């Protein structure tokens, strides 16, 4: 049982390049989330998908897009990377009937130069 | 507007003693609170939670206390062990809706032998 997996683990981009961060969960969870973690700021919600087929903005959505490909997979796309997007990105999922306990992936460390 | 605050960036405790981590929130709509533990280069892992209908929840060495009137919660770890050294995040959400988590900035706990 892998839980929540994320690829890649590390990525370096130049300003203006694009990339997609992949996330998959094998727990049959309905809801999935993307967060970014920056020093001194905790984790901030970028986008979430309450259920398959729906996506909504979180606290810091600018510069990002998401796709809920199916129930298992939720991807985060940076169309034109900026140095301000240098961060650690975490994907999470939850079965909504169990309250708000979210399960997190191991993270993707992204550096934009 | 920081809705969840952890005002102590770091805490150092001797092994075997009690560790107390604090968290304050401002949004009275929050009715579910969680603590996550995070080791370097890993995703956050769920530790313990409490709903607003309770004022205490205990799980082994970990106890969370909720004071709704003060909008304050705390995590007690007793006895503290070296493996408890990590960053601890407090998070809050509303049980209704998409169950988005709002995180505090985190407290780095160091347990000294």
Q: Report chain B's mean pLDDT, rounded to a whole number.
A: 94
Q: How far apart are the first and last CA of chain B?
A: 38
Sequential DSSP letters for A83-109? GGG-EEEEEEEE-GGGTT--EE---EE
Sheet holding A19-25, edge to edge: A4-7, A19-25, A74-78, A64-68
Q: Are B106 and A37 in contact (CB under 8 A)?
A: no
Cβ–Cβ gap A50/B46 under 8 Å: no
- pLDDT at residue A99, rounded to an integer: 64
Percent of chain B with pLDDT over 90: 89
Cβ–Cβ gap A33/B89 under 8 Å: no
The C-alpha angle B60, B65, B71, rounded to 5 degrees, equals 155
Over residues B23-40, the mean pLDDT reads 95
Look at the block and give the residue holding tokens 């919660």.
B73
Instruction: Using CA coordinates, name the residue in chain B closest to A4.
Output: B43
- pLDDT at residue A98, rounded to an integer: 53
Binned average pLDDT, 10 residues per bin, chain A of 113 residues: 92 97 95 94 93 92 96 97 97 78 95 97
Chain A residues within 8 A of B50 when measuring between CB atoms: none
Q: What does the pLDDT look like over B64-112, one tens digit per residue?
A: 999 999 999 999 999 999 999 999 999 999 877 677 899 999 999 999 9
Q: How far is A82 from chain B (nearest CA, A)?
A: 23
Return d(Cα B68, Cα B74) in angstroms, integer.
Answer: 12
Radius of gyration of the CA atoms of chain B, in A? 13
Q: How far is B24 from chain A (nearest CA, A)?
A: 14
Over residues B46-51, the mean pLDDT reads 95
Q: Are A7 and A22 in contact (CB under 8 A)?
A: yes
Phi then psi dihedrals of residue A17, to 5 deg = -75, 160
- Select from A21, A93, A20 the least CA-distant residue to A51: A93
Look at the block and give the residue holding tokens 């240098």.
A86
Look at the block and give the residue holding tokens 């130049």.
A14
- pLDDT at residue A1, rounded to an integer: 66
The pair of structure tokens assigned to B42 is 């890993």
Q: What does the pLDDT look like over A61-92, one tens digit per residue?
A: 999 999 998 999 999 999 999 999 999 999 99
- pLDDT at residue A101, rounded to an integer: 85
- pLDDT at residue A14, rounded to an integer: 97
Partnered with residue B111 across adjacent β-strands are B13
Over residues B36-47, the mean pLDDT reads 96
- Select from B103, B47, B79 the least CA-distant residue to A58: B103
Cβ–Cβ gap A100/B93 under 8 Å: yes
- pLDDT at residue B27, rounded to an integer: 92
Cβ–Cβ gap B99/A94 under 8 Å: yes
- pLDDT at residue A35, rounded to an integer: 97
The pair of structure tokens assigned to A36 is 């970014």
């Amino acid at each position: 049982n892998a839980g929540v997996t994320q690829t890649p683990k590390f990525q370096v981009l130049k300003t203006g390049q694009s990339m997609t961060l992949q996330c998959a969960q094998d727990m049959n969870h309905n809801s999935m989330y993307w967060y970014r973690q920056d020093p001194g700021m905790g984790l901030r919600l970028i986008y979430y998908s309450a259920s398959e087929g729906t996506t909504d903005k979180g606290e810091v959505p600018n510069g990002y897009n998401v796709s809920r490909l199916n129930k298992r997979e939720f991807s985060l796309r940076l169309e034109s990377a900026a140095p301000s997007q240098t961060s650690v990105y975490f994907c999470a999922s939850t079965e909504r009937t169990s309250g708000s306990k979210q399960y997190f992936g191991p993270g993707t460390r992204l550096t934009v130069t | 507007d920081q809705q969840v605050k952890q005002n102590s960036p770091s805490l150092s405790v001797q092994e075997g003693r009690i560790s107390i981590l604090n968290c304050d929130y401002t949004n009275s709509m929050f009715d579910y609170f969680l603590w996550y533990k995070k080791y370097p280069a890993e995703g956050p892992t769920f530790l313990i939670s409490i709903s607003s209908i309770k004022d205490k929840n205990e799980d082994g060495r970990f106890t969370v206390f909720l004071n709704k009137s003060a909008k304050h919660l705390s995590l007690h770890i007793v006895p503290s062990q070296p493996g408890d050294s990590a960053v601890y995040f407090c998070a809050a959400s509303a049980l209704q809706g998409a169950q988005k988590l709002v995180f505090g900035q985190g407290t780095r706990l160091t347990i000294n032998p």
